[in-house]
Amino acid sequence: MSENNEFSFENPQYRKTYWHTCSHVMAQAVKRLWPEVKLAIGPSIDNGFYYDFDAPFNFTQENLDAIEAEMRKICKEKLKLERFELPREEAIKYMQEKDEPYKVELINDLPEDAHISFYTQGEFTDLCAGPHLDSTGRIKGNAIKLTQCCGAYWRGDSKRKMLQRIYAVAFPKKEELDQYLAEQAEALKRDHNKLGRELEYFTTVDVIGQGLPVLLPKGARVVQLMQRWVEDTEQQRGYLLTKTPLMAKRELYKISGHWDHYLDGMFVLGDPHDETKECFALRPMTCPFQYQVFLNRARSYRDLPMRLGETSTLFRNEDSGEMHGLIRVRQFTISEGHIILRPDQLEEEFRHCLELAKYCLETVGLLEDCTFRFSQWDPNNTEKYIGTPEQWDEAQGIMGKILDHLGIKYTIGIDEAAFYGPKLDIQYKNVFGKEDTLVTIQIDQLLAEQFDMSYIDQHGQKVRPYIIHRTPPGCYERTLAYLIAKYAGALPTWLSPTQVALLPLADRHLDYVNEIKKALEQRGVRVMVDDRNEKINKKIRDSQMEKIPYMLVIGDRDVENGTVSVRSRKDGDLGAMAPADFYANLTEEIATRAR
């Protein structure tokens, strides 16, 4: 089958329909096995589908196996799916009679003029907008796998009941399922949320809270290394450093529009609705703070472009259920910058930002897994955004032209813009195949207007500047997570928390080992000495587990000859060499940030 075929699994639309039909089969199987279980919702997702159930017991692995077996049976029965509609009152009555309270609630929440449709297959009927395959016989029963069962709040609301969500995948061929499961198992070994904890990069602590990871010394070191490097790189590229507060009064966010468009996403200190008292909020973005630097005095066209950079800690109030390791967090640190510029500088500065982002991603090794997305507003959902349709058309037109001029291949994301302007998003595909936004570059004039920013041009006229909002590597916590997964914990030498492990064979080698240690430290290398009273093989194994790039095993012969015996994580045993040669190679590798 070709990729363009409507009924090909390669076609995302067909794949969605396939998986969604599978979710009905799952619900039917559960109802056959346990009629008392109540049904919630069952959508297709990026990697398969799920169904949320309200059951009076917890699903066990045996239960999941039984559901899978029943699903295979339903596929073999080749049940036809038939659609019908009911008026609202009858639809509610229908689901009340079936004793499905979640479905009744869903129907009640549908808009007044909605068509309320149902799909029937055999004895089973579900509330659903469709579309679906025409028969359960189209699903390959032995290529379905229930992958996971976990708790999920009804409607994602922690005040509502906790339901059980069963995740699953399905493919048209058994071999495709097997291949997918093998890939997932491999990815799981690299999962930052597992590996990053095992290697002690980070941890999370219940009493601190969800989405607030604690960086342990190793993770903190990697983040520091990236921050220093980005700050130095920005300095070389003409950025001015700023250091602005982590919070501000409500009034600042009223000017920026965050109060009206982003309040739910902010941590507010005080009662947001009591206007008689001072109320603060932690910052979700650096923009309104950094603008104050520009506003500090009158500006002329000669001051522009003004490139401002800051290693900025930000706070976003997101749902506890969404939190995940270092990737979905409530507090994170990012190199946020704003370039305030004249219209004639827009393309040049945009190119600079893009080059900087590409340089950073290329250096750490993530660029090869990135794609570009031009994120636009949604003209049918205007209340989410500030500005007029004309202003949006203009900003998006300018950005589109720049992207085309720079030859960027991008997809378009509708309703993915920031509330104040369109963005170029650099999307990263992680080891599980899931996509996240890693970097954004945005063009904006609306916030410049909100803050009444202006400069005097060559003709003595007061003019509104443009602003580019940008990040070069994305937030550091998330970048660290991707690096742990990408390198399976074996980070490039320049980013490794410990770069060299010194392993003396016996205590009598310690003096010599300490000399080597000092020489390495003087060269800025991060070293550890394993002086435990352990067998050398155990010391080597432990250093390997720690993914340390180099081990120097020191014995009698090294002390006598003044050499070091080098084992490289990448290339294995390199034999004995003069310390000076090892230092030279190592410092070269670090200085060039080799991967």
Q: Which of 29, 71, 128, 491 binds Zn ion (CB under 5 A)?
A: 128
The region of 276-284, 298-306, 466-474, 563-571 touching Zn ion under the rule CB under 5 A is 466-474
Contact 102, 54 (CB under 8 A): yes
287 vs 566 by CB, closer to Zn ion: 287
Nearer to Zn ion, 125 or 396 (CB): 125
Find out whether 81 and 136 touch, Cβ atoms under 8 Å: yes
Query: Measured from the CB of residue 417, what is the shortest distance to Zn ion in angstroms?
Result: 13
Q: How far is the CB of 57 from Zn ion (least distance, A)?
A: 25
CB of residue 292 vs Zn ion: minimum separation in angstroms? 13
Q: Are 202 and 219 in contact, with CB atoms under 8 Å apart?
A: yes
| Span of 127-135, 263-271, 373-381, 517-525 interacting with Zn ion by CB under 5 A | 127-135
Residue type, 42: G
Q: Are 37 and 102 in contact (CB under 8 A)?
A: no
For Zn ion, the closer CB: 128 or 222: 128
Task: Write phi, then psi, for 500 (nearest 5 degrees).
Answer: -135, 135
CA-based nearest residue to 543, from 505, 511, 500, 507: 500
Euclidean distance between CA atoms 263 and 317, whole angstroms? 9
Cα separation of the two ends of the chain: 40
Is there a contact between 460 and 439 (Cβ–Cβ < 8 Å)? no
Whichever of 24 and 517 has its CB closer to Zn ion, that residue is 24
> Closest approach of Cβ 444 to Zn ion, in Å?
8
> How far apart, in whole angstroms, are the C-alpha atoms of residue 420 and residue 275?
25
Token pair in block for residue 544: 């390997």
CA distance 495 to 491: 6
Give the shortest CB-354-to-Zn ion separation in angstroms. Answer: 16
| Shortest reach from residue 285's CB to Zn ion, in Å | 5
Give the residue nearest to Zn ion (CB): 128
Q: Report how far residue 509's alpha carbon sits from residue 530's, in angstroms, rounded to the nearest whole number.
A: 12
Number of chain positions touching Zn ion (CB under 5 A): 3
Pair 478, 332: CB distance under 8 Å:
yes
CB of 41 to Zn ion, least distance (A): 9
Q: Measured from the CB atom, is 293 or 456 closer to Zn ion?
A: 293
Binding mask 489-528 for Zn ion (x = CB under 5 A): ----------------------------------------
Q: Which of 188, 212, 419, 413 is nearest to 328 (CA)?
A: 212
Near Zn ion by CB under 5 A: residue from 103, 145, 373, 469 = 469
Stretch that binds Zn ion, among 91-99, 283-291, 326-334, 568-576 (CB under 5 A): 283-291
Complex with Zn ion: residue 103 or 486, whichever CB lies closer: 103
- Cα distance between residue 555 and residue 576, in whole Å: 11
Pairing, β 81-86 against β 370-376: unpaired
Q: Of 234 and 546, which has the nearer Cβ to Zn ion?
A: 234
Q: In angstroms, rounded to a whole number, what is the distance separating the alpha carbons of residues 73 and 142? A: 10
- Whose Cβ is closer to Zn ion: residue 116's or residue 287's? 287
Rounded least distance, CB 133 to Zn ion, Å: 10
The yes or no reply on residue 31 touching Zn ion (CB under 5 A) is no
CB of 487: closest distance to Zn ion in angstroms? Answer: 30
Task: Kindly tell me which residue out of 287, 306, 339, 402 binds Zn ion, with binding defined by CB under 5 A.
Answer: 287
Hey, which bits of 283-364 come out as E strands? 306-315, 331-341
Instruction: Identify residues 430-449 at the interface with Zn ion (CB under 5 A).
Output: none
The pattern of x and - marking residues 232 through 271 that bind Zn ion according to CB under 5 A reads ----------------------------------------
CB of 382 to Zn ion, least distance (A): 21
Neighbours of 145 (CB within 10 A): 19
Rounded distance between C-alpha atoms, residue 151 and residue 158, angstroms: 11
Binding site for Zn ion (CB under 5 A): 128, 287, 469
